[in-house]
Amino acid sequence: MSLNTFEEEQLAVQQIREGRDKIFEQLSKVIVGQEDVIEQLLVSLFAGGNCLITGAPGLAKTLLVRSIAQIFDLDFRRIQFTPDLMPADITGTEILQETAEGGRQMQFVKGPIFSNVVLADEINRTPPKTQAALLEAMQEHQVTAAGTSYKLEEPFFVLATQNPIEMEGTYPLPEAQLDRFMFNVRIEYLSQDDEVKVVQQTTSDFSPSIGQLFSADDVRRFHLTVRKVPVAEELVRYAVQIADASRPNREGAPDFVNQFVNWGAGLRGGQNLILGSKARALFNGRSHVNLEDIQALAAPVLRHRILPSYRAEADGVTVEKIIEQLLEHVKPPIEA
């Protein structure tokens, strides 16, 4: 085989395996704790998926995304989502410019979406019309303006931060847009000991620098390698069964789903469980997917794809509890 196929795949596998500890070492310079959050973000990046990061203000969501972009030596743009942000502020707009011949013509000026890593900061603070400006870019990796399509440079990721929906001044993301996010990663408050470290670090003259470990070419190679990781058919069926069991009013749906779920995961639920599991396997030094990979990613993959009912809210049944019950209900393959 040529260097561009087999040998490049082996190099990518080796880089991912050896890079895990180096990545955590670099991120630990600026991020305290949050190991699970970091792993889920990196798995999403290795798999080529967009990621939604949910947490209260002040939990270093923006710092984490910026630091990851630095590690991967990717072009980074931050868009602060506000109530008055317009779609053209994201995608770009056409302006009238004079030509060298003295005439005038319309020219497209690219917006901040034309980057490798786009941080959509506080995405749910802008109305749905502006949120929707990201849909085509997230799904098709292109932007259409005035009938012309412009391809985005690969790799391309949208890493969006979101304040909890119950906080004042937020707009819930439409289901169609939520489904474009591979993961919904939830950042919780730090332990008291970790918070002490953060306060000590951020109130001193400590100024850490993040080293660059991977190039854009490396990331593109990672994406191709992840998709070639083998998965047993039994595990694929298990992932599909988890997603299918989340859908109410279907034959064989669990009683708790019929009672507490208005809408379950679609096809992307099973797809992202498997694709994320492939990336997680490589990230943890394995060349095959196991049962733990699927179960570990069930929450970030499904928590934004399952819509609890009013009865669930009244009874205090959270989407996290529903996912736990799904994993208890769906029997894993015996040989996994």
- Please determine, for residue 143, whether its predicted confidence score (pLDDT) is greater than 80: yes
- Domain count of the chain? 2
Task: Give the CATH number, domain containing residue 284.
Answer: 1.10.8.80
Do 131 and 247 fall into the same domain? no
- Please determine, for residue 335, whether its predicted confidence score (pLDDT) is greater than 60: no
Q: Which residues are CB-contacts of 297 (< 8 A; sequence separation ≥ 6)?
A: 40, 43, 183, 272, 273, 276, 277, 280
Do 244 and 187 fall into the same domain? no
Q: What pLDDT sits at residue 4? A: 57
Do 234 and 221 fall into the same domain? no
Q: Read off the pLDDT of residues 260-318 as tens digits, 9 standing for 90 and up.
A: 999 899 999 999 999 999 999 988 888 889 999 999 999 999 999 999 999 998 999 99
- Please determine, for residue 182, whether its predicted confidence score (pLDDT) is greater than 70: yes
What's the whole-number mean pLDDT along residues 135-159?
Answer: 85
Do 218 and 274 fall into the same domain? no
Question: Residue 198's domain spans which residues?
Answer: 1-203+212-228
Do 180 and 321 fall into the same domain? no
Q: What pLDDT sits at residue 325? A: 94
Percent of the chain whose pLDDT exceeds 90: 29
- Mean pLDDT over the full length of the chain: 85
Listed ranges 21-25, 60-64, 99-103, 326-330; the one with the highest mean pLDDT: 326-330
264 vs 73 pLDDT, higher one: 264
What's the whole-number mean pLDDT along residues 116-126?
Answer: 88
Q: What pLDDT sits at residue 320? A: 94
Q: What pLDDT sits at residue 238? A: 96
Do 22 and 149 fall into the same domain? yes
Do 72 and 162 fall into the same domain? yes
Do 145 and 220 fall into the same domain? yes
Do 72 and 196 fall into the same domain? yes
Listed ranges 28-37, 222-231, 296-305; the one with the highest mean pLDDT: 296-305
Q: What pLDDT sits at residue 301? A: 96
Q: What pLDDT sits at residue 1? A: 40
